[in-house]
Amino acid sequence: MSSTTNSPTHHTSTIGAIGAPSRRNTELALLVFAVVIPVFAYANVGLAINDEVPAGLLSYGIGLGLLAGIGHLAVRKFAPYADPLLLPLATLLNGLGLVAIWRLDQSKLLQSLPTYITAAPRQLLYTALGIALFVVVLIFLKDHRVLQRYTYISMFVALVLLLLPLVPGLGADVFGAKIWIRVPGLGSVQPGEFAKIVLAVFFAGYLMVKRDALALASRRFMGLYLPRGRDLGPILVVWAMSILILIFETDLGTSLLFFGMFVIMLYVATERTSWIVFGLLMSAVGAVGVASFESHIQQRVDAWLDPMREYTLSQQGVWGHSEQAMQALWAFGSGGTLGTGWGQGHSELIRFAANSDFILATFGEELGLAGVMALLLLYALIVERGVRTALAARDPFGKLLAIGLSGAFALQVFVVAGGVMGLIPLTGMTMPFLAYGGSSVLANWALIGILMRISDTARRPAPAPAPNPDAEMTQVVRPS
């Protein structure tokens, strides 16, 4: 709530309507940087690869600038008190992602692969659609509390989204993980990205209603409040769902993301540490249990423990093994502290998914330790703004939704970056905004839109009270 401290009058509802800083000009200034930095990066790639400033530089700069400008104007009009950092941060990450994708598009090696598509123009289109969705969210979601009405519909939608990849004929198996669906005419869609938001809405609505029951009706045991048996129901259901995702969609990341998000929201809703303990225990049991019989998960774990062996197997042509993990580590190592510079690395050696799941490795090689740390801090800032929004929100539903979305965002960054850097086993998810992929870009712009709506509601000065006829009267009869 520090954002309101420079306006001490804000707390008194009578004269708070005027003077609270909207910070829109701060946002605009930051947006200029968020557009200019990727434009320079773009020029840099062109100079490094082709010895010339890329022909599309101007249109790219104008395009990104226009998109950011539209976003900014929409915020000015429909969410004037929203957090000023979120839009510039998302724009910067999205712009840098576009540059990296375009850079990988130039690679002759990737062009020679049968899976190659010119990804940058598509990503630009997705970005435009993403920002459009962001604007739509700001226009039509006048108050985030409206979402509360759709709690149970959200649950249903989320379940459908999560189960879609399992529908025969619709689901697509991409390198083991079944988290994609193929929509004719649209291409591949990753419904999990959207399910993330919809589930957060459901959890927030549900927990807001049930929080008292979950928090208070419990027995104390060994310093922990144990929930009643019947209150364990919801967490068991979500846990079972995560396990099912893990088994049938064989994706550790998606499963971890949803369960982690639920535990975070449950903890915030009930303020009971016991839920965290339960959550950790259950995820450990689930992960170890599934890993003991699901060969795909086992293989991911083996590849994580010994990436060099995995690489050797893939070079020997053993089916189902991938060189990507080791190639990503080499890319990071070869980048060193300062990196090779844009366009001068060889992250294309990762080949498949170099511009999506593994895009962080390109940053690692070309921008080095310094660049990756900066990127991670940008993500940390997004999460921080999200948590701050949750703190500032005045209603429990808003608090829960904001923390759910930011917690899921943080978990996703951790799971993906940790996977690519060999900290944890690889999963099939992508870095928000950086990675190539329409679902990811659209869903994350929607996520930012919702967070900004909540922060706008939170920071918006309370409306001036209706004139009090009594007060008028009193003044009239004042003795003279």
Nearer to other proteins, 19 or 336 (CB): 336
Is 93 in contact with 433 (CB distance < 8 Å)? yes
93 binds other proteins (CB under 8 A): no
d(CA 10, CA 233): 43
- Interface region with other proteins, contact rule CB under 8 A, candidates 59-67, 76-84, 248-256, 369-377: 369-377
- Interface region with other proteins, contact rule CB under 8 A, candidates 13-21, 284-292, 323-331, 451-459: 323-331
d(CA 145, CA 206): 13
391 binds other proteins (CB under 8 A): yes
Phi, psi of 239 (to 5 degrees): -60, -45
Question: Closest approach of Cβ 359 to other proteins, in Å?
Answer: 15
Total residues contacting other proteins (rule CB under 8 A)?
Answer: 51
Q: 113's torsion region: left (phi>0), alpha (psi -120 to 50) or beta?
A: beta
Spell out the residues 6+ positions from residue 244 whose beta carbon is closer than 8 angstroms to its own: none
Per-residue contact track with other proteins, 338 to 357, x per CB under 8 A? --------x-xx--------
252 binds other proteins (CB under 8 A): no
Of residues 119-138, which lie at the interface with other proteins (CB under 8 A)?
Answer: none
Is 19 in contact with 475 (CB distance < 8 Å)? no
418 binds other proteins (CB under 8 A): yes
d(CA 414, CA 443): 18
The CA-atom distances, in angstroms, between 450 and each of 33, 79, 188, 263, 453 are 23, 11, 25, 21, 5
Per-residue contact track with other proteins, 158 to 177, x per CB under 8 A? --------------------
Q: Are strands 187-189 and 218-221 parallel, antiparallel or unpaired?
A: unpaired
The single-letter code of the amino acid at 338 is L
256 binds other proteins (CB under 8 A): no
- Interface region with other proteins, contact rule CB under 8 A, candidates 33-41, 219-227, 268-276, 441-449: 268-276
Question: Closest approach of Cβ 382 to other proteins, in Å?
Answer: 10
**DSSP notation for 10-60:** GGSGGG-SS-----HHHHHHHHHHHHHHHHHHHHHHHHHHHSS--TTHHHH
Question: Closest approach of Cβ 409 to other proteins, in Å?
Answer: 9
376 binds other proteins (CB under 8 A): yes
Terminal Cα distance for the chain, rounded: 44
Q: Provide the 3-class DSSP secondary structure of residue 228.
A: coil
Q: Provide the 3-class DSSP secondary structure of residue 277.
A: helix
Nearer to other proteins, 62 or 377 (CB): 377
- In this chain, which of 413, 442, 450, 454 binds other proteins, going by CB under 8 A? 413
The single-letter code of the amino acid at 82 is A
51 binds other proteins (CB under 8 A): no
Joined tokens for residue 288: 């170890």
Is 317 in contact with 274 (CB distance < 8 Å)? no
Nearer to other proteins, 162 or 435 (CB): 435
113 binds other proteins (CB under 8 A): no
282 binds other proteins (CB under 8 A): no
- In this chain, which of 109, 129, 132, 153 binds other proteins, going by CB under 8 A? 109
362 binds other proteins (CB under 8 A): no
49 binds other proteins (CB under 8 A): no
* Crossing angle for the helix pair 86-105 and 57-78, to the nearest 10 degrees: 160
- Interface region with other proteins, contact rule CB under 8 A, candidates 66-74, 377-385, 450-458, 470-478: 377-385
Question: Closest approach of Cβ 62 to other proteins, in Å?
Answer: 34
The single-letter code of the amino acid at 289 is G
Per CB under 8 A, residues contacting other proteins are 108-109, 112, 264, 267-269, 271, 308, 311, 326, 329-330, 332-337, 346, 348-349, 364, 368-369, 372-373, 376-377, 379-380, 383-384, 387, 390-391, 396, 399-400, 403, 406-407, 410-411, 413-414, 417-418, 421-423
